[in-house]
């Protein structure tokens, strides 16, 4: 079993929006490839390949984000560099459906999507779609869909499990993976950056701040009492220091 971190480019933005600190920030946009017993899953699909040329598709969000997506960093290019055919991916697990987590979905034609039902529902809410919080035309493309409610065992043997961590969005989830070297939790946007966990610092925007704090505490407990390594959602320092694969 292994996890391969794939960087689907970066987004540059105001730190204030994301962390309530001053200045600008550059975020890696991860998609995590998980291989287990001949099966493959992606945890999130990164940003849309078209963002390498234009950010027009971001609509109301375009003024707030500057994508940096070279041609050799699209999801397809990253998978092919790892010798994986995008058409062979079995499962996409979404932490949540924001554009930088679900933008590459069209590149993965044959996967079954696993997502919390609450997230799928809010991802189609008219008011949220209108203001650019969700782009259903990027993730609702006719894939087989498995809507889940709560914890879920992705491959049926307990080694890859969805952990609900709502707060950043209504149906946010993290993914716990039992590697041979020990357990890992992919936090998604429950925790953007390591220091935000250390300081229990919330981003400026969340769907439910109290719920997000409770979810952050849950993952802290996975780290402190279960010995889990936490891999944060957008932490450039941590992401840049990861090995090519974790096993
Ligand atoms: Zn998000």
Position 16 scores a pLDDT of: 86
Position 85 scores a pLDDT of: 98
CA of 184 from ligand 1 middle (Å) equals 20
Under-50 pLDDT residues of the chain: none
72 and 41 Cβ atoms separated by less than 8 Å? no
* Phi then psi dihedrals of residue 84, to 5 deg: -120, 130
Whole-model pTM over 0.75: yes
CATH assignment of the domain containing 145: 3.60.15.10
CA of 73 from ligand 1 middle (Å) equals 20
Per-residue pLDDT of 151-164, as tens digits, reads 999 999 999 999 99
Euclidean distance between CA atoms 130 and 19, whole angstroms? 24
Q: Is 247 among the domain residues?
A: no
Q: Is 246 among the domain residues?
A: no
Residue 35 is inside which H or E element, if any? Answer: strand 24-36
**Residue in the block written with tokens 């079993």:** 1
CA of 215 from ligand 1 middle (Å) equals 14
CA of 39 from ligand 1 middle (Å) equals 27
For residue 157, the Cα-to-chain-centroid distance in whole angstroms is 22
What range defines the domain where residue 14 resides?
Answer: 2-240
208 and 160 Cβ atoms separated by less than 8 Å? no
Residue 202: burial class (beta carbons within 10 Å; 0-12, 13-18, 19+): middle
Euclidean distance between CA atoms 185 and 202, whole angstroms? 19
Residue 184 is inside which H or E element, if any? Answer: strand 182-188
* Of 204, 194, 196, residue with least CA distance to 232: 194
CA of 225 from ligand 1 middle (Å) equals 27
Position 204 scores a pLDDT of: 86
**Residue 201 DSSP label:** P
Cα distances (Å, whole numbers) of residue 197 to 144, 164, 202 = 35, 17, 9
> Count of domains in the chain?
1
CA of 168 from ligand 1 middle (Å) equals 7
Please, which residues have CB less than 5 A from ligand 1, an ion? 98, 189
CA of 61 from ligand 1 middle (Å) equals 13
Position 18 scores a pLDDT of: 83
């Amino acid at each position: 079993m292994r996890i391969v971190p794939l960087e689907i480019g970066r987004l540059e933005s105001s730190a204030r929006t994301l962390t309530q600190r001053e200045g600008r920030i550059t975020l890696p946009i991860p998609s995590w490839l998980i291989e287990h017993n001949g099966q493959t899953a992606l945890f999130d699909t990164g940003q849309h390949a078209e963002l390498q040329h234009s950010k027009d598709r971001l609509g109301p969000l375009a003024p707030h984000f500057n994508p940096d997506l070279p041609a050799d960093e699209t999801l397809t290019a990253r998978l092919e560099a790892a010798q994986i055919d995008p058409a062979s991916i079995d499962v996409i697990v979404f932490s949540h459906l924001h554009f930088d987590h679900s933008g590459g979905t069209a590149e993965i034609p044959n996967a079954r999507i696993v997502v919390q039902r609450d997230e799928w529902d809010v991802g189609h809410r008219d008011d949220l779609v209108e203001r650019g919080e969700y782009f259903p035309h990027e993730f609702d493309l006719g894939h087989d869909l498995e809507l889940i409610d709560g914890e879920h065992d992705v491959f049926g043997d307990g080694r890859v499990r969805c952990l609900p961590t709502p707060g950043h969005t209504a149906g946010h989830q993290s993914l716990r993976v039992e590697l041979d070297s020990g357990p890992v939790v992919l936090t998604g946007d429950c925790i953007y950056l390591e220091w935000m966990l250390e300081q229990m610092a919330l981003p400026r925007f969340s769907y439910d701040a109290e719920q997000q704090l409770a979810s952050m505490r849950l993952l802290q407990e996975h780290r402190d009492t279960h010995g889990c390594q936490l891999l944060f959602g957008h932490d450039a320092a941590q992401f840049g220091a990861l090995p090519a694969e974790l096993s």
